[in-house]
């Protein structure tokens, strides 16, 4: 059943231009919905196969690797594929929202087309076993995401999309340079070949420069502090649905790439033993955890608040990576999953709010607890997840990260992880107090709950509760991926 | 029914009760009967379980595997059953009282109130039944969040600020210290399970053990050990039934229960006694006892005075745990029940006074005993129990705690306990004395001039509604009953002292013929 492997990317990729031709709002909606659900079904089947019978390999166009392009699915990227496709399947039914530029111009099909392209790109980056192919798909997803961001409610979205484009292109270029240098050293682009040949040339300066370019390029895409500047603007100006999708998938795929290059291509021994990546990445991660959260506390707009919180959450993921231990890496990978649920859900809640209030400023949230009770409750639960309250998915991530810290014999690091999560209490409770303790403006019209985005938001938020208790699947897969990455038995 | 089913029903009843309350919110009478039904069914289940546990059974129920080394699981043991019994038993009178109080006070959002109330009981029972540190932590945090809407029930600026302090202290101590301690315990011992005799012995160095004990003692912020006690007085902004049940029983007792549970089942009394790492905690507890008592003396607001009294009395339990001698542990466990019944009566009385005559300050209570004889009579009984005089329940727990201090050769602490009893006379008795022996000041104190009564009628009865007065009389009677039930409690709690000095066999032979 390796035929499923290319379908994972081909379905959304081919569907995108068809969607452009459909034009009609409803047709495009139904068609793209069918496509993302089919894509999701494929990713479920793939993960099932990988867990059951080990990695899958597919040679594109019948050209055997390493000469042709190989698509390779193992536990790690099957998990990421499932997350990306799953989030798309939940987010897309929300539609673009009435406020966005695409809806104002009556050209929703642009949104659906860009969405499918972006999805195809992200899935391609994840599934491919070819380093150059990574770059190609990365550019597809990036270009599509610039379009998606520019569909925001007002003209500021253009500026945000443009600066995102500049930074994103720099990141993409760095990655390309890194891949080029690695190719120069090894003569191959196939990841497995790279993994076999790079260890022989790790003492060469070119190899180290290749790694540096790759890491920094990916770090830009991942919004690692201090390379995060593009993220708050992009997420806060994009339509909330787009923010939900990008925050739950874009940075996650970048994180996957970093893990892939560090652990399976360059090798943990080289990266941590010779280059001491942890000495740089760990302080930066801790800085991101604290500064991102502190910046979130001072925001006056809900979307910006969540965007800064994302920077802090990326800090947790990279912290897990920098620990280079099974528990730490499990924490990082499971947080990739959990954060996708939480932040996707929270941004969808914002989409609900924006749909009814036509504003995401915090001051307009006064009395929201009475005006939109379900939406507000969903936000609070999602926020509790960000804090890491037990019973929510966020707790599971913190659990493994703290265990990873203890494994390094660092009670201080464990304490810092927990301390930083308290900052989330502060920014969440600002909103709770606004929503529940303050009366809405006297002239505020009565409003109903949002129509299309409420159910997707509730699905994701409910999932954060579910995966806070039933961790066997999420943390189990993350753990087996981490064990495999650390060189243990699968 | 098997014990496993009983555990599920006991935990399910408050949950279903909360659901029932939420669904029947439009019909107050139906809604209140939901609460009472849930309270009754919970109480019956818990009583049956207590019977089984007292007979030596240790039923266990595994629900979900949360992490490779920790599951969501329940296992009953005497200490947990004591706490569960207190919480479930006092939920019934409190429900009756809350109905009378909330209606008498015309409070808003009563449905939300009763939903959160039932959920808080669920949280408390979850803590009581937990088989490991992870389950305990999960319910501990749940309880914090479920009680937040109760504390801030009024929705005013003042309530919001109190809520900030409440949540701020409880969440930051639990996440910053308690969770760290739990994870470190699990990391060093390889298990999160509670085991008789403890799990830490031989696994950690003395220094690390001391650090862990500190993280637990301060991380369990609900135990209100100074300097993390500020949330308790702040939470008094809540309606009185909340203060009564949550801040005399469920929340604060969840704190001291957790401390005691950790001492007995994670550290182990033997380990603490042999290494002496808990000596500093005794003195922190002793300081909390004295300082909080002195603060209570200076509070004119009745609820604030009771709040500081609670801080002081909770430290008794921490003190008993830190002593880690047989009598200390048994006394501390007993004090959970004794103090709960006494303090809930006092809070009920404070609320009844507020409902009947809108008085909140001690200095306004002159002569009120003539108009509210039942209320103030109950106040007297409960005060004597808190002070620790026979024939009231509080006498036994203080007796055992003093004995525990003697067993541990901590004679200074015996003095602290005695001084503290004197101080509690100092802050509780003036209330009773004013109520019964000081004549009401014309028109300003107990007189209701704004209602147009003539002074002669002020001496007439004006009790709070029966739904308020009957529960507080029942709990006051409970203080007396507990004095005579103490031997039963004692024999049920004896297994806790396994491993402590002196050996249980000698200890049991010496006490309570």
Q: What is the pLDDT of residues A199-257, one digit of tens each?
A: 888 888 888 999 999 999 999 999 998 888 888 988 888 888 889 999 999 899 999 99
In a domain, A308, yes or no: yes
Q: Is the dihedral of CA B68, B72, B73, B77 positive or negative?
A: positive
d(CA A134, CA A142): 12
pLDDT at res. B455: 46
Closest residue in chain B to residue A330, using alpha carbons only: B67
Averaged over A47-69, what is the pLDDT? 85
Verify whether the Cβ–Cβ distance B66 to A436 is below 8 Å: no
In a domain, A472, yes or no: yes
Verify whether the Cβ–Cβ distance A425 to B152 is below 8 Å: no
| Structure tokens belonging to residue A135 | 């770059």
pLDDT at res. B122: 93
| Structure tokens belonging to residue A326 | 């099974």
In a domain, A226, yes or no: no
Q: Which of A418, A431, A468, A478 to mutate to test the interface with B (most CBs of B within 10 A)?
A: A418
Task: Give me the domain span that covers residue A476.
Answer: 276-490
d(CA A392, CA A484): 26
d(CA B98, CA B102): 6
> Which of A389, A422, A429 faces B176 most closely, judged by CB atoms?
A422
Identify the weakest region by mean pLDDT among A90-94, A343-347, B293-297, B495-499: B495-499
DSSP string, A319-356: HHHHHTSHHHHHHHHHHHHHHHHHHHHHHHHHHHHHHH
> Which of B64, B172, B184 faces A469 most closely, judged by CB atoms?
B64
In a domain, A222, yes or no: no
| Structure tokens belonging to residue B312 | 């002081």
> Which of B64, B137, B160 faces A390 most closely, judged by CB atoms?
B137
Label residue A462 left, alpha or beta by phi (over 0 means left) and psi (-120 to 50 means alpha): alpha
Q: Report the length, in residues, of chain A.
A: 490
Q: How many domains are there within chain A?
A: 1
pLDDT at res. A442: 74
Q: With the CA atoms of B481, B482, B488 and B493 taken in that order, what torsion angle do they form, in degrees rounded to the nearest 10?
A: 170
Q: Could you tell me if A315 and A231 are in contact, meaning their C-beta atoms sit under 8 angstroms apart?
A: no
Residue whose C-alpha is closest to residue A456's, from A373, A380, A350, A356: A350
3-state helix, strand, coil in chain A (%, to 5): 80, 5, 20
Averaged over A97-106, what is the pLDDT? 73
Verify whether the Cβ–Cβ distance A390 to B171 is below 8 Å: no
Verify whether the Cβ–Cβ distance A425 to B66 is below 8 Å: no
Instruction: Convert the pLDDT of each residue in A393-411 to its tens digit.
Output: 999 999 999 999 988 888 8
In a domain, A233, yes or no: no
Q: Could you tell me if A231 and A223 are in contact, meaning their C-beta atoms sit under 8 angstroms apart?
A: yes
Q: Which of B69, B149, B154, B180 to mutate to test the interface with A (most CBs of A within 10 A)?
A: B180
In a domain, A348, yes or no: yes
In a domain, A464, yes or no: yes
Q: Could you tell me if B49 and B76 are in contact, meaning their C-beta atoms sit under 8 angstroms apart?
A: yes
In a 10 Å sphere around its CB, with 0-12 CB exposed, 13-18 middle and 19+ buried, how is residue A276 labelled?
exposed
Give strand pairing partners of B75. Answer: B60
Instruction: Convert the pLDDT of each residue in A355-380 to its tens digit.
Output: 888 888 888 888 888 888 888 999 99
Averaged over A162-183, what is the pLDDT? 92
Instruction: Convert the pLDDT of each residue in A429-464 to its tens digit.
Output: 888 888 888 877 777 777 777 778 888 899 999 999
d(CA B56, CA B214): 32
d(CA A468, CA A395): 7
d(CA B285, CA B479): 25
pLDDT at res. A21: 87
Verify whether the Cβ–Cβ distance A399 to B67 is below 8 Å: yes
The pLDDT of residue A490 is above 50: no
Angle at B125 between CA B121 and CA B127, to 5 degrees: 115
Label residue B198 left, alpha or beta by phi (over 0 means left) and psi (-120 to 50 means alpha): left
pLDDT at res. B509: 52
pLDDT at res. A466: 92
Verify whether the Cβ–Cβ distance A402 to B137 is below 8 Å: no
Nearby residues of A280 by Cβ (< 8 Å), 6 or more positions away: none
The CA-to-CA distance between both ends of chain B, in Å, stands at: 35
Verify whether the Cβ–Cβ distance A390 to B175 is below 8 Å: no
* Mean pLDDT taken over chain A: 88
CA distance A322 to chain B (A): 20
> Which of A384, A419, A469 faces B72 most closely, judged by CB atoms?
A469
Residue B10 near chain A (CB below 8 Å) = no
Verify whether the Cβ–Cβ distance A399 to B164 is below 8 Å: no
In a domain, A10, yes or no: no
Give strand pairing partners of B71. Answer: B65
Series of mean pLDDT values for 10-residue runs along chain B (513 residues): 84 89 83 88 90 85 85 90 90 87 78 88 92 92 91 85 90 91 90 86 84 91 88 85 82 92 88 85 92 91 89 91 87 90 90 83 83 87 89 87 86 90 90 84 48 49 78 88 86 78 56 48
Instruction: Convert the pLDDT of each residue in A283-333 to its tens digit.
Output: 999 999 999 999 999 999 999 999 999 999 999 999 999 988 888 999 999
If one counts every other C-beta atom within 10 angstroms of the C-beta of residue B300, the result is 11
Q: Could you tell me if B245 and B90 are in contact, meaning their C-beta atoms sit under 8 angstroms apart?
A: yes
Which residue bears the tokens 């039934």? Answer: B241
What are the b/e assignments for A197-221, b being 16+ CB within 10 Å?
A: ebeeebeeeebbebbebbbbbbbbb
What are the b/e assignments for B71-92, b being 16+ CB within 10 Å?
A: bbbbbbbbbbbbbbbbbbbbbb
| Structure tokens belonging to residue B236 | 């008094």
pLDDT at res. B453: 46
CA distance B119 to chain A (A): 15
Residue whose C-alpha is closest to residue B493's, from B264, B182, B315: B264
Print the SS3 string covering A53-98: HCCEEEEHHHCCCCCCCEEEECHHHHHHHHHHHHHHHHHHHHCCCC
3-state helix, strand, coil in chain B (%, to 5): 75, 5, 20
Which residue bears the tokens 């599951």? Answer: B71
If one counts every other C-beta atom within 10 angstroms of the C-beta of residue B4, the result is 13
CA distance B461 to chain A (A): 39
Give strand pairing partners of A72. Answer: A57
């Amino acid at each position: 059943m390796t035929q499923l492997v290319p379908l994972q990317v081909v379905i959304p990729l081919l569907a995108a231009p068809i969607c452009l031709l459909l034009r009609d709002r409803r047709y495009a909606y139904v068609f793209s919905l069918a496509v993302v659900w089919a894509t999701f079904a494929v990713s479920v089947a793939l993960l099932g196969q990988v867990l059951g019978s080990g990695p899958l390999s597919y040679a594109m166009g019948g050209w055997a690797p390493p000469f042709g392009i190989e698509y390779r699915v193992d536990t790690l990227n099957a998990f990421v594929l499932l997350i990306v496709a799953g989030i798309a399947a939940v987010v897309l039914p929300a539609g673009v929202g009435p406020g966005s530029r695409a809806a104002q111009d009556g050209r929703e099909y642009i949104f659906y087309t860009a969405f499918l392209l972006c999805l195809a790109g992200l899935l391609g980056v994840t599934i491919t076993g070819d380093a150059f192919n990574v770059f190609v798909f990365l550019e597809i997803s990036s270009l599509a995401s610039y379009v998606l961001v520019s569909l925001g409610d007002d003209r500021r979205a253009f500026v945000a999309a443009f600066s995102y484009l500049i930074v994103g292109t720099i990141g993409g270029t760095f990655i390309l340079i890194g891949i080029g240098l690695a190719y120069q050293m090894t003569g191959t682009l196939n990841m497995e070949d790279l993994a076999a040949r790079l260890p022989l040339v790790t003492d060469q300066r070119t190899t180290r420069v290749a790694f540096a370019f790759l890491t920094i390029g990916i770090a830009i895409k991942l919004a690692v502090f201090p390379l995060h500047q593009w993220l708050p603007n992009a997420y806060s100006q994009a339509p909330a649905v787009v923010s939900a999708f990008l925050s739950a998938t874009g940075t996650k795929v970048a994180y996957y790439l970093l893990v892939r290059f560090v652990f399976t291509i360059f090798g943990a021994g080289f990266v941590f033993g010779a280059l001491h990546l942890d000495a740089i990445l760990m302080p930066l991660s801790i800085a991101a955890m604290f500064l991102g959260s502190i910046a979130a506390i001072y925001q006056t707009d809900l979307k910006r608040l969540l965007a800064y919180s994302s920077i802090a959450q990326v800090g947790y993921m990279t912290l897990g990576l920098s620990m280079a231990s099974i528990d730490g890496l499990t924490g990082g990978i499971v947080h990739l999953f959990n954060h996708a649920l939480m932040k996707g859900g929270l941004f969808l809640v914002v989409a609900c709010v924006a749909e009814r209030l036509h504003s995401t400023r915090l001051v307009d949230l006064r009395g929201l607890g009475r005006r939109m009770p379900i939406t507000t409750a969903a936000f609070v639960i999602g926020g509790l997840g960000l804090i890491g309250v037990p019973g929510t998915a966020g707790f599971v991530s913190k659990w493994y990260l703290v265990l990873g810290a203890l494994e390094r014999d660092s009670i201080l690091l464990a304490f810092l992880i927990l301390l930083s999560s308290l900052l989330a209490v502060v920014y969440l409770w600002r909103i709770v107090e606004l929503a529940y303790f303050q009366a809405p403006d006297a002239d505020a019209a009565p409003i109903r709950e949002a129509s299309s985005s409420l159910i997707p938001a509730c699905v994701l938020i409910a999932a954060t509760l579910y995966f806070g208790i039933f961790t066997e699947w999420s943390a189990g897969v993350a753990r087996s991926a981490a064990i495999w990455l650390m060189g243990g038995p699968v | 029914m098997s014990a496993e089913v009983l555990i599920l029903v006991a935990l399910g009843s408050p949950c279903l009760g909360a659901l029932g309350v939420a669904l029947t919110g439009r019909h107050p009478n139906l809604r209140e009967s939901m609460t009472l039904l849930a309270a009754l069914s919970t109480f019956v289940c818990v009583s049956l379980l207590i019977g089984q546990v007292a007979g030596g059974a240790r039923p266990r129920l595994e629900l979900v595997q949360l992490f490779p080394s920790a599951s969501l699981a329940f296992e009953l043991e005497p200490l947990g059953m004591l706490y569960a019994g207190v919480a479930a038993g006092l939920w019934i009178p409190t429900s009756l009282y809350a109905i009378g109080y909330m209606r008498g006070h015309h409070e808003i959002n009563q449905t939300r109130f009763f939903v959160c109330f039932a959920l808080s009981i669920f949280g408390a029972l979850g803590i009581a039944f937990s088989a490991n540190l992870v389950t305990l932590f999960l319910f501990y945090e749940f309880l914090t969040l479920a009680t937040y809407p109760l504390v801030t029930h009024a929705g005013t600026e003042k309530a919001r600020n109190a809520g900030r302090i409440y949540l701020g202290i409880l969440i930051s101590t639990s996440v910053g210290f308690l969770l760290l301690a739990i994870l470190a315990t699990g990391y060093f011992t390889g298990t999160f399970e509670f085991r008789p005799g403890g799990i830490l012995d031989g696994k950690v160095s003395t220094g690390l053990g001391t650090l862990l004990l500190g993280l637990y003692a301060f991380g369990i912020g609900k135990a209100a050990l100074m300097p993390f006690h500020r949330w308790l007085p702040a939470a008094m902004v809540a309606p009185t039934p909340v203060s009564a049940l949550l801040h005399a029983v469920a929340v604060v007792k969840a704190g001291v229960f957790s401390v005691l549970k950790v001492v007995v089942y994670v550290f182990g009394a033997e380990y603490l006694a042999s290494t002496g790492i808990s000596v500093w905690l005794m003195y922190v507890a002793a300081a909390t006892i004295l300082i909080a008592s002195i603060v209570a003396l200076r509070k004119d607001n009745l609820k604030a005075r009771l709040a500081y009294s609670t801080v002081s009395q909770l430290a008794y339990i921490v003190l008993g745990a830190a002593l880690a001698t047989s009598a200390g542990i048994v006394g501390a466990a007993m004090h959970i029940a004794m103090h709960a019944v006494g303090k809930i009566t006092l809070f009920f009385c404070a609320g009844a006074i507020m409902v009947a005559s809108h008085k909140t300050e001690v200095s306004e209570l002159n002569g009120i005993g003539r108009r509210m004889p039942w209320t103030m009579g109950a106040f007297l009984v409960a005060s004597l129990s808190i002070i620790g005089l026979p024939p009231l329940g509080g006498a036994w727990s203080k007796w055992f705690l003093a004995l525990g201090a003697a067993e541990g050769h901590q004679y200074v602490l015996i003095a602290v306990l005695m001084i503290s009893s004197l101080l509690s006379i100092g802050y509780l008795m003036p209330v009773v004395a004013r109520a019964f022996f000081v004549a009401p000041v014309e028109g300003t104190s107990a007189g209701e001039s704004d209602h147009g009564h003539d002074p002669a009628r002020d001496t007439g009865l004006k009790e709070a509604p029966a739904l308020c007065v009957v529960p507080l009389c029942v709990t006051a009677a409970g203080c007396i009953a507990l004095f005579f039930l103490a031997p039963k409690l004692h024999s049920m709690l004896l297994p806790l002292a396994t491993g402590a000095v002196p050996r249980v066999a000698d200890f049991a032979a010496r006490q309570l013929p």
